[in-house]
Structure 1
Amino acid sequence: MSAKSHFPPMSVFVITLNEAAHLDEVLESVRGVEEIVIIDSGSTDETLEIAKRHGARIVHNDWPGYAKQKEFGIKQCTHNWILNLDGDEVLPAGGLQMIRERIAVGDVNGIWIHHDDIFMGHSLRKARHHKYRRVYRKDKCHMNTDVLVHEHIEVEPPLAYLPIYLKHYGYDSAHGYMDKLNTYSLLKAEQREQQGRPCSLPRLLLIFPLMFLKFYLGRQMIWSGWRGFIKANIDAFHFFLTEAKLYEMAYRRKRAVKKVPPKQ
């Protein structure tokens, strides 16, 4: 009998599109897990070769959006316990063992863990981070697919917390982070418009300074020096950009209506 046979079997799934930069480290951090599933939407770099070296099962699925792609990934997993990682998130040493030991107790349906955001080459661990539901039972979860961005999984309680910090490379450079937030802000604006939540001028005016204070002081990015100051500004600008794009949508519609000639 193997040393880990008393642990419930687990599937790890990762959605990918050209994630070769960090995928080897990501998959190495879950070495020994019973199943690795890669949900790929058309990588052209070495992503698939790296996945094969780690014994992953690769499933192609054309990109349907963040939430729907993760919902698809959940369905591909053959084990009831699931760990979901992005292609730029690495479990710390001992993290997988901590997860295995906690779920073996048998009293929870999911586990909260943290991000350790890497920004400009170094950790932002001194800042306060959101907790994420990344470990859960397949039969006790539901992916909210009504959102275009910042998808989240619903897990039936009870949930536990573990002091595990995923090393997250996705925000490493200011340039790359701004590129991501430019895309996210458009998706958020489109989602807000679909929900009937238009831009308000007071919000457009106040959102940047208020969100900067939230991130810089409330999330304690102040303790990360100038890197924290820069990231807090970028995060705040993301919220401002969402409002600006909502305003633009409304402005263009209003101008288009004015250009329609009156019926004779």
Structure 2
Amino acid sequence: MFETPLRGDRLIDVLIITKNEEANIGFCLEALAGWTNRIFVVDSGSTDRTREIAESHGAEFIHHDWPGFAKQKNWALDTLELESPWTLIVDADEVITPELRSVLEGIATAPVSQETKTGYFINRLTFFLGRPIRHCGYFPNYHLRFFKTGSGRYEEREVHEHIILKGPVGRITTPMLHDDRRGLEHYIAKHNRYSTLESQALQREINSQK
């Protein structure tokens, strides 16, 4: 299984979840063009040009109502026809650099049965208002995003979910770029929403221990 290359030598399928990402999705998809196999954009109801931009870049656009971060990704992992030996998950506001592409392709081109790692944490460099943040605990910043297809699922968390893999993992120090171009107002609103979800999850945990 997965020993035969797909679409030439493209051995990586990509999953992106979106909602109203027209400011970001084009940059993300341009960096994935020409070397990945299938790109799935799972959208929860965009009202902007996200679908138009995604499809113009050759991505497969699928609507699925929003059940939460972890549940949305698990639905995609369970439902989509991921046919490549490796799966890469990126956010719409992230960009895979040419240097990182080379690292990922180097891993993927080896026979999957000979690769001892089940997945890889990828370093991430975050930009804020156009400037990279290299301090304050923001860098290095590792996220488990590249893994053998079918090897894991996300834990059930409301936000800042993590995928749990079956097997050893490695680290890729070459960073992807995280640059949300939707502006300061969106940034503040997003983190307000995240803090609410985190506090609700904490309260449920406290209540369950009573």
Q: Partners of 1:48 and 1:176 in 2: how far apart?
A: 20
Equivalent in the alignment of 2:133: 124
Q: 2:121 aligns with which of 112, 120, 124?
A: 112
Q: Partners of 1:182 and 1:90 in 2: how far apart?
A: 24
Give the number of aligned pairs: 194
Query: SS in structure 1 opposite 2:206?
Result: coil
Task: Measure how far apart 1:138 and its partner are.
Answer: 2.4
Equivalent in the alignment of 2:53: 50
Q: Partners of 1:71 and 1:109 in 2: how far apart?
A: 18
- Gaps of at least 5 residues in structure 1 are 199-264
Deviates more, 1:187-196 or 1:160-169: 160-169
Deviates more, 1:186-195 or 1:119-128: 119-128
Equivalent in the alignment of 2:21: 19
Are residue 96 (structure 1) and residue 65 (structure 2) matched? no
Q: Partners of 1:113 and 1:141 in 2: how far apart?
A: 16
Q: Give the letter aligned to residue 70 of structure 1.
A: K
Q: Give the letter aligned to residue 119 of structure 1.
A: F
Structure ranking higher on relative contact order (CA contacts 8 Å, 6+ apart): 2
Q: Partners of 2:190 and 2:71 in 1: how far apart?
A: 19
Q: Partners of 2:181 and 2:205 in 1: how far apart?
A: 28
Q: Give the letter aligned to residue 141 of structure 2.
A: H
Query: SS in structure 2 opposite 1:55?
Result: coil
Query: SS in structure 2 opposite 1:195?
Result: helix
Equivalent in the alignment of 1:158: 168
Q: Give the letter aligned to residue 98 of structure 2.
A: A
List structure 1 runs of 4+ shifted beyond 6 angstroms.
none
TM normalised by structure 1 equals: 0.68
Mapped contact 1:13–1:77 kept (Cα < 8 A)? no
More strand by share: 2
Distance 1:172 1:38, change over 3 A: closer
C-alpha RMSD over aligned residues: 2.2
Highest CA radius of gyration, 1 or 2?
A: 1
Q: Give the letter aligned to residue 82 of structure 2.
A: T
Mapped contact 1:114–1:129 kept (Cα < 8 A)? yes
Mapped contact 1:119–1:173 kept (Cα < 8 A)? no
Query: SS in structure 2 opposite 1:44?
Result: coil
More helix by share: 1
Mapped contact 1:110–1:136 kept (Cα < 8 A)? yes
